[in-house]
Chains A and B, each alone.
Chain A
Amino acid sequence: MFVAEKNALSEEIESYVNKYGNDRSALLMILHEIQNKHRHISEFAQQEVARLLNIHPVEVYSVISFFAFLNSNPKGRNLVRICQTISCDMKGKSGLVKAIERELGIKIGETTKDNKFTVEYANCLGLCDMGPAMAINDQVFLQLTPEKAVELLGKVK
């Protein structure tokens, strides 16, 4: 990472600490913001958070490793999550998965070469009455067909 990028990230993290406070209880909200913006929480970001909250970097890493929505390794710019739980499964989740895998040329769990998409499974998204359900970043899409799912991906920048 270049020095300028590092400084920008430090400033960004400082702004979150100003927003949520420097108490440990602010940790998850701060991590959430970083994750949303960068799709991962880099080692440098972890150190900065630890420094500002006055805790050990290992503590930050240990929290990140616990939660499904937080990760320390880079992912694609857009995160696609397909619900794999039974109600969506019965409504045809595997059709969505197959179509998306074909279209993007990757397997579920992988990231496209251009770094545009990471595709993952999610557990029940709380939309079981309108499955199969899929989330692209923080937006959710319902009652999908394989064709509609692929079409949605085409609209993503």
Chain B
Amino acid sequence: METIKKKRTGPVIFSEYKRGDAIKKAILMTREDILFELKDSKLKGRGGAGFPTSTKWMLTAAAKSDDKFLVCNADEGEPGTFKDRVLLMEYPELVFDGMVVGGYTIGSQKGIVYLRGEYEYLLKPLQDYLEVMRKDNLLGKNIFGKKDFNFDIEIFLGSGAYVCGEETALIESLEGHRGEPRNRPPYPINTGYLGRPTSVNNVETLAAVSHIVVKGGSWFAKFGTDKSSGSKLFSVSGDCEKPGVYELPWGTKISELLKIVEAKNTKAVQIGGASGHCVPKSQFDRTMAYEDVATGGSVMVFNESRDMLHVLKNFMEFFVEESCGQCTPCRMGNVKLLEGVEMIEKGEYTFAHINKLKDLGRTMQMASKCGLGQSSPNPFISILENFNDEIFNAGNGGRNGK
């Protein structure tokens, strides 16, 4: 893996930052001050669910326990997402400083990075980086001379399970169990790792925290929209000239992003990864924001030449493999949806059956235990509806119907 640092520019995450700055500033502040800045920033978690970070940290800070944990979720398994890889590879200072600030704010002495097994090549460089931080007293005991503020970070390697990105499954696997999601409540903020209060935060969320502490919550909130403050890292792949990671303010139109990445003859964009939504050309003036098309940042571009049924099949195969199998709607449902796609592929389907499968999808959205099964029907429903004509009417080389 090459580790050439690209020169990246962006309004928030990729703006100027010096290693240790957030920690230096944070230890001069009270916990409450930090929580106020975060509240002002209106930062929402970048892991997908969009829960306000200030609330999560306030609740974890308030939980009574001598032992608390801060977990950095670097499981990044959503198809089409790779921004956390870029942050860890090129901006570890932002992520780790954010963790130290988090530890200080919630009153934790131990941070854990849950690094997906696929990123094992990052393990050694990150461990080396942590060693340097320890030498400089950015980690360890009495950090920067702040009496009684002790915090250290450990890296834990995942073993190739997408569902372990779900925070309770992540905790199960940290504890040495199968990575099966737990029922919630109780939430990790009370009953997390080893039964202790635990805050699980996405890599990008922690990177944003470092900037917010240094530059202020209101500075951060100036970017983006009212409901979606700040910027977002978008991982762009597929049919375009310039795939890669882009930092853009929330509220950017899909069409603007397509222009930036030089995508031509685009037919559709899958936003939010396999579990996200497929947006057809007619809706490219929609914006990426929590209040419009929400996303953890995966953007996959499809041009006119692509067969959307093939795209859908690829996604459904992914979910069939990655379902943990713990609950029936998801374990059975994804198999049924994949079979449905294969029936359409072979031309052996009835519309009555397909409509039943869409209903099944809606049931899965409601009845599945965790976010995987709740969102895996999204592409099935959105692709079959938005590309109805291509798939059922004209897609077969102009013949009417498959």
- From A19-27, A98-106, A146-154, give the one contacting chain B: A19-27
- Restricting to A1-48, which residues have a CB under 8 Å from any CB of B? 23-29, 31-32, 35
Within the complex, the shortest CB–CB distance from B91 to chain A, in Å, comes to 16
Q: How far is the CB of B302 from chain A (nearest CB, A)?
A: 8
Q: Flag if B80 contacts A124 (CB, 8 Å).
A: yes
- What residues of chain B lie closer than 8 Å to A62, measured between beta carbons? 178
Q: Is there contact, CB below 8 Å, between A124 and B77?
A: yes
B50 located at the interface, meaning its Cβ lies under 8 Å from any Cβ of chain A in the complex: no
Beta-carbon contact of A63 and B121 below 8 Å: no
Is the beta-carbon distance between A28 and B173 smaller than 8 angstroms?
Answer: yes
A24: contacting residue among B84, B161, B175, CB under 8 A: B175
Q: Tell me how far the C-beta of A139 lies from the nearest C-beta in chain B, rounded to whole angstroms.
A: 7
Residues of B161-197 whose CB lies within 8 A of A: 161-162, 173-180, 194
- A69 touches which of B76, B81, B160, B300 (Cβ 8 Å): B160
Q: CA A25 – CA B239 in complex, angstroms?
A: 42
Most buried by B among A62, A68, A87, A125: A87
* Contact, CB under 8 Å: A126 / B85: yes
Q: A87 near B156 (CB under 8 angstroms)?
A: no
A86 touches which of B77, B118, B180, B315 (Cβ 8 Å): B315
User: Which listed residue (B178, B300, B311, B321) contacts A123, Cβ 8 A?
Assistant: B321
- The reply to whether A128 and B80 form a contact with Cβ atoms under 8 Å apart is yes
- Note all chain B residues with C-beta closer than 8 A to A29: 156-157
Q: A123 CA to B117 CA in the complex, in Å?
A: 12
Question: How many residues of A are counted as interface, with CB atoms below 8 angstroms from the partner's CB atoms?
Answer: 38
Q: Is B1 interfacial (CB-CB < 8 Å)?
A: yes
- Asked whether any CB of chain A lies closer than 8 Å to the CB of B119, the reply is yes
Docked CA distance A135–B270 (Å) = 25
**Would A85 and B79 be within 8 Å (CB), given that A25-B175, A63-B178, A90-B239 are in contact?**
yes
Given A25-B174, A26-B176, A129-B237: A68 touches B159 (CB 8 Å cut-off): yes
- On whether the beta carbons of B159 and A67 are closer than 8 Å, the reply is yes
Q: Which residue of B lies closest to A123 (CB)?
A: B318
B330 sits at the interface (CB 8 A): no
Q: Are B237 and A87 in contact (CB under 8 A)?
A: yes
Contacts of B159 in A (CB 8 A): 28, 31-32, 35, 67-70
Nearest A residue (CB) for B325: A66
- Interface-centre pick from B79, B235, B274, B322 (highest chain A CB count, 10 A): B79
Expressed in whole angstroms, the Cα–Cα distance for A140 and B243 within the complex equals: 18
Given the known A-B contacts A123-B77, A123-B79, A139-B1, are A128 and B161 also in contact in the complex, defined by CB atoms under 8 Å? Answer: no
**What residues of chain A lie closer than 8 Å to B162, measured between beta carbons?**
123
- Knowing A63-B177, A123-B322, A126-B76 are in contact, say whether A131-B237 is a contact too (CB < 8 A): yes
Is A114 among interface residues, defined by CB-CB distance under 8 A?
A: no
Q: How far is the CA of A126 from the CA of B84 in the complex (A)?
A: 9
Residues 283-307 of chain B, each 1 if its beta carbon lies under 8 Å from chain A, else 0:
0000000000000000010100010
CB distance from A18 to the nearest CB of B (A): 16
Q: Which residue of B lies closest to A127 (CB)?
A: B82
CB distance from A28 to the nearest CB of B (A): 6
The reply to whether B121 and A138 form a contact with Cβ atoms under 8 Å apart is yes
Cβ-closest chain A residue relative to B245: A129
Assuming A87-B79, A90-B306, is B1 touching A140 (CB within 8 A)? yes
Mask of B1-17 contacts with A, CB within 8 angstroms, 1/0? 10000000000000000
Distance in angstroms between the alpha carbons of A90 and B84 in the assembled complex: 23
A119 to B120: give the CA distance in the assembly, Å. Answer: 19
Interface pair B176/A27, CB less than 8 Å apart? yes
- A110 at the A/B interface (Cβ < 8 Å)? no
Residues B118 and A126 in contact, CB atoms below 8 Å apart: yes
Question: Are B236 and A67 interface neighbours, CB within 8 A?
Answer: no
When distances are taken between beta carbons in the complex, the residues of chain A under 8 Å from B121 are 138-140
CB-defined interface of A116-136 with B at 8 Å, one 1/0 digit per residue? 000000111111111100010
Measured in the bound complex, the distance between the Cα atoms of B179 and A68 in whole Å is: 11
**Which B residues have a C-beta under 8 Å from some C-beta of A?**
1, 76-82, 84-85, 116-121, 156-157, 159-162, 173-180, 194, 235-239, 243-245, 270, 274, 300, 302, 306, 311, 314-315, 317-318, 321-322, 324
A-B contact pairs, 12 of them (CB 8 A): A24-B175, A67-B159, A68-B161, A69-B117, A69-B159, A85-B274, A85-B318, A87-B237, A90-B239, A124-B80, A129-B237, A140-B121
- The 6 A-B pairs of least Cβ separation, nearest first, read A27-B176, A68-B160, A128-B237, A67-B159, A69-B160, A129-B243
- Extra contacts, 14 of them, besides A28-B156, A28-B173 (Cβ < 8 A), are A32-B117, A66-B180, A67-B179, A70-B159, A84-B317, A85-B318, A122-B118, A123-B321, A126-B76, A128-B82, A129-B237, A131-B237, A135-B118, A140-B1
**What residues of chain A have their CB less than 8 Å away from a CB belonging to chain B?**
23-29, 31-32, 35, 53, 62-63, 66-70, 84-87, 89-90, 122-131, 135, 138-140
